[in-house]
Amino acid sequence: ELSKQGCILEAAIEAGAKEIINIKDNLNEWDSKVGDGDCGTTMYRGATTILEDLKKRYPMNDAAGTINEIGSTVRRVMGGTSGILYDILCKAAYASLKQNTSIGANEWADALEASVAAVSKYGGASAGYRTMLDALIPACTVLKQFDELIVLKQSLKAGDDPVTAFIASSEAASAGAESTKQMQAKAGRSSYIAPDLVASVPDPGAVAAAAWYRAAAHAVKS
């Protein structure tokens, strides 16, 4: 029997995975211009397997356990740089989430912060390197701001609630992904962007991260 939170988590994961499937070709096209052309295929492999594993393997009422299982899926099927980095991301999120008995927006904010730190530590990239972190770091910053507001119990503006926090955070992720168009890469395969591509091609990994995050955030809303 799914709890209300389990239901929301399942809807969010499903929405995120489906969005990656939708944008597979775009991701491959961008990666073919600035990398080796497989970012969409790699992400698609993860997303389709997550959808297959969703009902049969993931203990949806246990958010930490579910993220841990997503990590296993990703590790098994993705490969590539994004596969390794999403494995690291899931492990860090799991380690953070499992410390809590109840999980809300604050705990997800802490988990995202731990994930971003782990990806940055192991991958050697930080903000402005033209990677997935350029979507995830701004998302994390915004989610943590709401987190602090909630912790301090400051008067939240009407409509400022965890759902609003996730939506605002996902908008920051999208803006961050868009901003990679202007960046010269410092990590990964796309370490040189031809001048004619600057301003037209975003980092595919950043777009992918913003896309699943935005879709998942909007699933929390509904």
Which span (25-33, 125-133, 168-176, 192-200) binds Mg ion, by CB under 5 A?
A: 25-33
Which C-beta is closer to Mg ion: that of 106 or that of 190? Answer: 190
- Crossing angle of helices 204-221 and 162-179, in 10° steps, is 160
How many Å apart are CA 17 and CA 12, to the nearest integer? 9
**Phi, psi of 96, rounded to the nearest 5 degrees:** -75, -50
Q: Enter the tokens of residue 35.
A: 């990398």
Q: What's 203's DSSP letter?
A: -
Binding mask 79-98 for Mg ion (x = CB under 5 A): -x------------------
Q: How many CA atoms lie within 13 A of 47 on its CB side?
A: 25
Q: Please, which residue, 59 or 124, has the CB nearer to ligand ADP?
A: 124
187 binds, among ligand ADP, Mg ion, none (CB under 5 to 8 A by kind): ligand ADP
CB of 189 vs ligand ADP, minimal distance in Å: 4
> Residues touching Mg ion: how many (CB under 5 A)?
6
CA distance 134 to 58: 29
Identify residue 45 by its one-letter amino acid code.
R
Identify the residue among 25, 36, 52, 148 touching Mg ion (CB under 5 A).
36
Nearer to ligand ADP, 82 or 174 (CB): 82
Which spans of this chain sit near Mg ion (rule: CB under 5 A)? 31, 35-36, 38-39, 80
Which spans of this chain sit near ligand ADP (rule: CB under 6 A)? 31, 35-36, 38-39, 42, 80-82, 85, 119, 123-125, 131-133, 187-189, 203-206
